[in-house]
Amino acid sequence: MSHRASTWLRFGFIRRYPFDLAAVSVGAVVAYLLVTRFGTESELRLFAMVPLVLFLPGYALVSTLFPTDKRSANRTAATAAEARPRGIDGIERMGLAFVLSLAIVPLIVLVLPVTDWGLSAQSIAAAFAAVTVVLAQLGVVRRVRTPDTERFTVAPIASLRRLRNAGVTASSVVLVIAIGTAVSALFVGVLLPVSAGGYTELALYSETDDGEVVAGELPSDVAPGTSIPITIAIENHEGAQQDYTVVIQQQVLEDDAVVERTELQRLNTTVADGTTARSEQSVTPTVAANETVRISVLLYHDEPPATPTNENAAEETHFWVNVTDR
């Protein structure tokens, strides 16, 4: 007895694998590699981000939602219900790809900051590449399961002929407007912040009696000579490894103006992109009893200026301490 070999186990499935979705998957992986290999100053990196964020994930999603071709439903239509288009054509796919890509952008940007990867050029590229590849494979499965007479296939020459013969329609104008809006929003909301170098976050924490690290619970009153334990956190989202200098400064203010500065500590650290460095320190105010001082933590890229201030720091945070002998 002979058994029919499955085309999924031979080369039948490979021959039926949609060329456009294969190109989309490969393009997403290549774009991710380019983004991670080149620095923020590289134009090639920005060039790779454009299709990865603007087009590829949306096209993969469109392919998953619409595996059929619009023209196939009209061939055997017998009733009004069957005459309705079951899919979309190539021109509509291109327009929807831009619009749906724009819809995917805020979802990824909102989710990444709450993950361990954070929001950086590398994590954005990785997320878009992963979403694109997964959606493309789902699109492959749906399209392969669609009958040959109804399945959407890529025929570039035929598509160009249909576009030339069809002329400019109202739907084409709407698609052009949607694509223009998507491009503008993308460059303003995603690409420009990434290409500008990202950002750095500075935070100050203290440890409770239970050993939990929390924010906003530093002591406001201490005795003279008492050390205040603090935890300094530096979160790097600059798109590349950064060298930082932290200056811990005691400041005496009169009429909201600093009249005396005393440097208590200076720290140097290197933080990889997308990671957070924490340093536990002890700060001891040097003023006499019954005086109030401001303890400022000033963050600089590389070396600070000769006179570090809250105004010339890249990031700053501070807390007030009242030194009392009571």
- Looking up tokens 């500065």 gives 261
pLDDT at position 185: 56
If asked whether residues 133 and 254 sit together in one domain, one would say no
Q: Is 323 left (phi over 0), alpha (psi -120 to 50) or beta?
A: beta
If asked whether residues 127 and 267 sit together in one domain, one would say no
If asked whether residues 171 and 259 sit together in one domain, one would say no
Within a domain: residue 315? Answer: yes
pLDDT at position 15: 66
If asked whether residues 290 and 309 sit together in one domain, one would say yes
pLDDT at position 157: 47
* Span 22-57, pLDDT tens digits: 899 999 999 999 888 876 556 777 788 888 988 999
If asked whether residues 265 and 131 sit together in one domain, one would say no
**Angle in degrees, CA 105, 114, 194, rounded to 5:** 45
Q: Which of 142, 168, 191 delimits the end of a domain?
A: 191
Q: Which of 150, 173, 191 delimits the end of a domain?
A: 191
pLDDT in 10s for each residue of the chain, 326 residues: 445 554 444 555 566 788 888 899 999 999 999 888 876 556 777 788 888 988 999 999 998 998 887 654 444 444 444 444 456 777 778 888 888 888 898 888 888 888 877 777 788 889 999 999 999 999 999 988 888 788 887 765 445 455 455 444 555 556 556 665 655 555 545 454 444 457 899 999 887 766 676 776 788 889 988 899 999 999 998 888 999 999 999 999 998 899 999 999 999 999 998 899 999 999 999 888 889 999 999 999 989 999 999 999 999 999 999 988 76
Within a domain: residue 2? Answer: no
Within a domain: residue 1? Answer: no
Within a domain: residue 159? Answer: yes
* DSSP letter string, 100-128: HHHHHHHHHHHHGGGSSS-SSHHHHHHHH
Whole-number Å distance between alpha carbons of 158 and 93: 15
Within a domain: residue 100? Answer: yes
If asked whether residues 23 and 43 sit together in one domain, one would say yes
Structural domain range at position 119: 7-74+81-191
Q: Which of 158, 191, 224 delimits the end of a domain?
A: 191
pLDDT at position 317: 92
If asked whether residues 20 and 169 sit together in one domain, one would say yes
pLDDT at position 80: 46
If asked whether residues 187 and 213 sit together in one domain, one would say no
Within a domain: residue 266? Answer: yes
* Span 199-231, pLDDT tens digits: 899 999 887 766 676 776 788 889 988 899 999
* DSSP letter string, 239-308: SS-EEEEEEEEEEEEETTEEEEEEEEEEEEEEE-TT-EEEEEEEE---S-TTEEEEEEEEEEESS--SS-
pLDDT at position 78: 45
Within a domain: residue 17? Answer: yes
If asked whether residues 212 and 318 sit together in one domain, one would say yes
Domain count, the chain: 2
pLDDT at position 253: 92
If asked whether residues 61 and 164 sit together in one domain, one would say yes
If asked whether residues 124 and 28 sit together in one domain, one would say yes
pLDDT at position 244: 95
> Domain containing 241 — which CATH number?
2.60.40.10
If asked whether residues 311 and 218 sit together in one domain, one would say yes
Within a domain: residue 11? Answer: yes
